[in-house]
Amino acid sequence: MTKVTKHSMLLGFVVGICSFIGVAHGAVLKVGSGDGCLDINMGDPTGGSNQGRNVIVWPDCHSGVNQQWSITNGLLKSQAGGKSWCLDINMGAPTGANNQGRNVIVWPNCHGGVNQKWILDNGRLISKAGDKQWCLDVNRGDATGGGNQGRNVIVWPDCHGAANQNWTVK
């Protein structure tokens, strides 16, 4: 049996962050056991003045530009549609059971606020926006996109680590 110490926990956390920091441009983020890829729904404007776009998980991991991500200083970025976008928690858009979750969008202003900062820890993408720890989560009950094949992406305050919160970089 391996003894878990503060040092080994810290080392594991640092290794997870370092592997995430090293994500090259064009990486694809897959959820669960092949359930789909993090995808920008370019046809779904949202946010103030409709500047943002909704983020979904799409079952077809086609590696198009709307599924390609890079990381810079904790910001998850995309170049979809010829713009620079950052993965962003829309703190003003409660969703899910008892409105506990928040909708996730991409925003063209990469301001680097806490609602745009992410770390990868044991397969979970985590944000510390506001006064909570949020996990990137696929809302399996919320069908969206062409033919309702996609699922909306949210953040959830309960980081339970189930398949809908488990992300891998490909």
pLDDT higher than 70, residue 24: no
Q: Is 100 a domain residue?
A: yes
The domain tally of the chain equals 1
Pairwise CA distance, residues 147 & 125, whole Å: 27
CB 53 within 8 A of CB 105: yes
Q: Is 1 a domain residue?
A: no
Average the pLDDT over 74-100 and give the result: 90
Mean pLDDT for the chain overall: 83
Supply the pLDDT for residue 98.
Answer: 80
CATH number of 61's domain: 2.80.10.50
pLDDT tens digits for range 103-113: 999 999 999 99
Supply the pLDDT for residue 11.
Answer: 31
Domain range enclosing 38? 6-169
Q: Is 77 a domain residue?
A: yes
Pairwise CA distance, residues 85 & 53, whole Å: 9
Q: Is 50 a domain residue?
A: yes
Q: Is 129 a domain residue?
A: yes
**Confidence label for 66 from pLDDT (cuts 50, 70 and 90):** very high
Average the pLDDT over 59-74 and give the result: 94
